[in-house]
Structure 1
Amino acid sequence: MRVPRRGVARWAVWTLPVPVLAVILAVELLAVGTLATSVPRDIALLPHNWALVVAVLVAAGVLSTEASLGVERMRHRSDETPHIDLSSVWTFAAAALLPGAAASLVVLGIYGHLYTRVWRGGIPPHRAIYSTATVVLAVQAASAVTGLVERTSLFQSLPGLAAVVLALLAYAAVNMVLVVAVIVLSGPNRDLATFLHVLTRGDEAVLEFATLSMGALAAGAMGALGPAYAVLVLPPLIVLHRTVLVRQLEEAASVDGKTGLLNAAAWHVRAVRVLRRAERTGGRAGLLVLDLDHFKMVNDQYGHLVGDHVLAAVAAAVRAEVRDEDLVGRFGGEEFVVLLPSTDAEDGRVAAVAVAERIRRRVADIQVDVPDARGGVVVDNLTVSIGGASFPADGADLAQLLEVADAAMYAAKRAGRNTVRMGLHAVPSGAVRPVPPHHS
């Protein structure tokens, strides 16, 4: 008979993969140790009004969260993955104005309020604790940099400006690297390329630097004019909260939840735009349709949750083998589609075949390690059949290209799977509509 786990043993943190658990515990212990050792050193460095500054920043963070409470809760409901919560405006201001220990008090106050008002019930406690620990370390790093310059002249000299910029970079580096490390270790692809791809996602990085810059401005106003001037940051921050929510909802509406790729509708809209632009400029493009071989066997043998991990791993493999400007989408089930605009080869065919072969080989090398109650399973020996079409040779619009590529993909299936077939010559006669002449 299986004995149910009780108490601490039931915490969700113990179900995490060992590498993730090791990183979480190490970061949390480092945050506690850094904070404990900084207290004796920082006592002598505290400004005379440090308690007022801490109180004002915590109050500002609380007011900001309360004013945007509905927005923040909606952001968490619409996107369960970690995202920028904009509280770094206040925590970075604390790092610029205060020694590390006092600045960490601001972090604990703001993040404690965030947990009770926004996160509780939505994310497990270990994620909230880890997020707090990463910010404590980021604040400690930024405060150490700003401490290299006399804080009273921090916003009144070029060396002070340089220190603020370096502190901003230190804060962002520590916080983002630690968060992204756990995200990557929790996923199917734990390589450096995946880490760098997630770390440099444009929107999240820009938003982080924007909030840190607002924090620097808030600290400058508070340092020069008084702590009460923190209130001037609240209106633009509330507006930014709502702007970010709109962007997040738009992204959620266009992204496939299991793979992170464009969903079929969003991919189709963008692909039509790309082909229209190529037609106006006389450009070329290639289109690939990919279908996982025997994917039903994966679902039947391991279950649909493991199948979802496999789909995510294949999506990451496809994304890794194409350029940033290429459109990658999931068409449903185990089928993916890629549009390769502005290929230089004749009719886009040679370049598209090269990309398809790279994807095929990369998928064949995938090993998906999925943890479960039995200790985990490894899914490998995956293959993909790929069909392609080129614009304008194989079709004058997206519908024709998809029809040719889909028929070529089934030709690849009939040829034994794990292969690539390209263009009208791979399609049996009569399988697709005749392509009308293309008029330039």
Structure 2
Amino acid sequence: MPPSPDRSIGSARWAIRSVPRRLVAVLVSVEILAVLVVVVDGVVSPPDVTATGLWTVAVLALLGMVHTESALGVERMRRRVDQTPHLDLSSVWTFAAALLLPGCLATAVVLLVYLHLYLRAWRPSGFPVHRVVFSTATVVLAVHAAASVAGLGGGADPFRSAVGLVLVALAVLTYGLVNLVLVVVAIRMSGSGTSWRRAVGHRDELLLELTTLTLGAVVAAAVSAFGVALAVLVLPPLVVLHRTVLVRQLEEAASTDAKTGLLNAASWRLQADLALRAARNSGGTVAVLLIDIDHFKVVNDRYGHLAGDQVLSGIGAALRAEVRDHDLVGRFGGEEFVVLLAAADVDDLHTSAGAVADRIRRRIGELRTEVAVSGGSTVIDDVSVSVGVSTYPADGADLDRLLEVADAALYAAKAAGRNLVRHGLHAVDEPGGSASRSPVHGS
């Protein structure tokens, strides 16, 4: 399943009280729906339980467990790197079950695989139980939906005809879509402020899910043609794929600021240099926005550093919401953030960069962050930021110069009274402006 940015849902126990009520309603509704689907399917189409069917359930579940055990170190590392839900690659076995078994027996495979996955990988990593229950429910619904689509062929072997193969492809899409929609809705209901596009996940995650489901179809085809024991041949490439995912996840963790989920300073600089080079080669332009929280030390001193971290996280989410997906947003220092905007038209960006900066300033000024204090909680609602803006090529030809100009403009904004936006080299000549400073973090 796609990763969820909501990190507020407690510990490994049933920390359901910390979950927003509307999210609880979604979780419970999906779980009840999963139970109803299984019960109705069992009543309307009672499964013809045969020795072959039970053998298939046993082998698929066993292979799922062997897969988990063989990748246990990798999976635990992934949980340490990122505590949020992510693709666990178990859909290889659950999707194969959807194609090979009646709905109730396929559900048995899901329950066995996910119970073992929880006991061996997720619980030791502190993964909350209610998330596991929700994840399992979404997979059960996805399995039944995929089985219904594959079953439109009238029960014939879907791998022996062109129509059957089309139905298998549609079943792949159905499984992925059902799972994706349910998880995205839950993310949006979590109150994390995540956009629809970010909730859907990165293209690489979607391609990985598609690859995993395709492997599940290969398992089902091998079992259908040569017997269930042949499914074991999928294990080696699956373990290799699991390790490849870990490498990508470690790379992402190394480039991400843990408190805000934004790019860290080094990664932002690397990607910003590439974006500036591309703009230079194509005749385009970029703008750099340097954003500093006004009097952030007061927040830390008054409410504590944990409250300060919550403010930083809220500002990170606000920045992502106010820029486009291909713009670069990073945490530059303790209370300083940086954004790179790219465009093809120089004049247009010069105007719009200031508008984006002011929109960011106003949005952050409207943030309300509830934090815990001794004896209860309080809301921090008086945070503001100052913003300095520079553009290429008007203010400089390289990234260091653009950062220097943006920093000087930021300092001018602070000198003029804070909670302001200043743009370019002329900022120092505006009322309240001042001379440039070296690019270190302001207060």
After TM superposition, the score normalised by the length of structure 2 is 0.87
Partner of residue 4, structure 1:
none
Residue 18 (str. 1) matches residue 21 (str. 2): yes
Residue 307 (str. 1) matches residue 308 (str. 2): yes
2-structure distance, mates of 1:370, 1:209 = 40
Match of 1:106 among 106, 109, 114: 109
Please give the residue correspondences for 1:237-248 in structure 2 after superposition, counting only pairs within 5 Å.
237-248=238-249
Please give the residue correspondences for 1:152-163 in structure 2 after superposition, counting only pairs within 5 Å.
152-163=156-167
2-structure distance, mates of 1:25, 1:389 = 49
- The letter of the residue matching 1:217 is V
Once the two structures are overlaid, the 10-residue window that deviates more, 383-392 or 313-322, is 313-322
For the Cα contact (< 8 Å) 1:95–1:142, is it kept in 2?
A: yes
Partner of residue 129, structure 1:
133
Partner of residue 60, structure 1:
63
2-structure distance, mates of 1:309, 1:68 = 34
- The letter of the residue matching 1:151 is G
Local SS of the residue matching 1:148: helix
1:90-141: CA deviation from partner (whole Å, max 9, x where unpaired): 1011111112111010001111111111111321222222221221121122
For the Cα contact (< 8 Å) 1:152–1:223, is it kept in 2?
A: no
Change in 2 beyond 3 A, CA 1:19/1:304: farther
- The letter of the residue matching 2:338 is V
For the Cα contact (< 8 Å) 2:389–2:424, is it kept in 1?
A: yes
> How far is the alpha carbon of 1:397 from its aligned partner?
1.7
Partner of residue 436, structure 1:
none
After TM superposition, the score normalised by the length of structure 1 is 0.88
* Root mean square deviation, CA, Å: 2.5
Once the two structures are overlaid, the 10-residue window that deviates more, 156-165 or 83-92, is 156-165
For the Cα contact (< 8 Å) 1:91–1:103, is it kept in 2?
A: yes
Partner of residue 92, structure 1:
95
**Matched residues, number:** 421
1-structure distance, mates of 2:174, 2:268 = 37
2-structure distance, mates of 1:104, 1:197 = 30
Partner of residue 431, structure 1:
436
1-structure distance, mates of 2:240, 2:197 = 30
> How far is the alpha carbon of 1:370 from its aligned partner?
6.0
Change in 2 beyond 3 A, CA 1:432/1:299: closer
Change in 2 beyond 3 A, CA 1:314/1:288: same
Match of 1:115 among 109, 113, 118: 118
> How far is the alpha carbon of 1:182 from its aligned partner?
2.8
> How far is the alpha carbon of 1:390 from its aligned partner?
1.1
In the alignment, structure 1 segments of 5+ residues that lack a partner are 1-9, 434-440
Partner of residue 188, structure 1:
192
Local SS of the residue matching 1:339: strand
Residue 225 (str. 1) matches residue 229 (str. 2): no
Change in 2 beyond 3 A, CA 1:357/1:417: same
Please give the residue correspondences for 1:239-318 in structure 2 after superposition, counting only pairs within 5 Å.
239-318=240-319
For the Cα contact (< 8 Å) 1:95–1:143, is it kept in 2?
A: yes
For the Cα contact (< 8 Å) 2:284–2:346, is it kept in 1?
A: no
1-structure distance, mates of 2:373, 2:52 = 52
- The letter of the residue matching 1:304 is H
Partner of residue 338, structure 2:
337
1-structure distance, mates of 2:309, 2:188 = 16
Change in 2 beyond 3 A, CA 1:244/1:66: same
1-structure distance, mates of 2:151, 2:232 = 25
Partner of residue 437, structure 1:
none
Residue 150 (str. 1) matches residue 154 (str. 2): yes
2-structure distance, mates of 1:320, 1:410 = 25
Change in 2 beyond 3 A, CA 1:246/1:200: closer
Partner of residue 32, structure 2:
29
Once the two structures are overlaid, the 10-residue window that deviates more, 416-425 or 86-95, is 416-425
Residue 350 (str. 1) matches residue 351 (str. 2): yes
2-structure distance, mates of 1:268, 1:361 = 26
1-structure distance, mates of 2:155, 2:176 = 20
Once the two structures are overlaid, the 10-residue window that deviates more, 21-30 or 37-46, is 37-46
1-structure distance, mates of 2:306, 2:385 = 20
Change in 2 beyond 3 A, CA 1:213/1:376: farther
Partner of residue 325, structure 1:
326
Residue 164 (str. 1) matches residue 165 (str. 2): no
For the Cα contact (< 8 Å) 2:265–2:332, is it kept in 1?
A: yes
> How far is the alpha carbon of 1:307 from its aligned partner?
3.0
> How far is the alpha carbon of 1:24 from its aligned partner?
2.0
Change in 2 beyond 3 A, CA 1:328/1:139: same
- The letter of the residue matching 1:366 is L
For the Cα contact (< 8 Å) 2:265–2:330, is it kept in 1?
A: yes
Change in 2 beyond 3 A, CA 1:96/1:395: same
- The letter of the residue matching 2:436 is A
Once the two structures are overlaid, the 10-residue window that deviates more, 110-119 or 246-255, is 110-119
Once the two structures are overlaid, the 10-residue window that deviates more, 298-307 or 201-210, is 298-307
Change in 2 beyond 3 A, CA 1:13/1:336: same
1-structure distance, mates of 2:374, 2:50 = 53
Percent of pairs with identical residues = 55
Partner of residue 234, structure 1:
235
1-structure distance, mates of 2:101, 2:163 = 18
- The letter of the residue matching 1:23 is V
Local SS of the residue matching 2:325: coil
Change in 2 beyond 3 A, CA 1:373/1:116: farther
2-structure distance, mates of 1:171, 1:373 = 47
- The letter of the residue matching 1:87 is S
Partner of residue 73, structure 1:
76
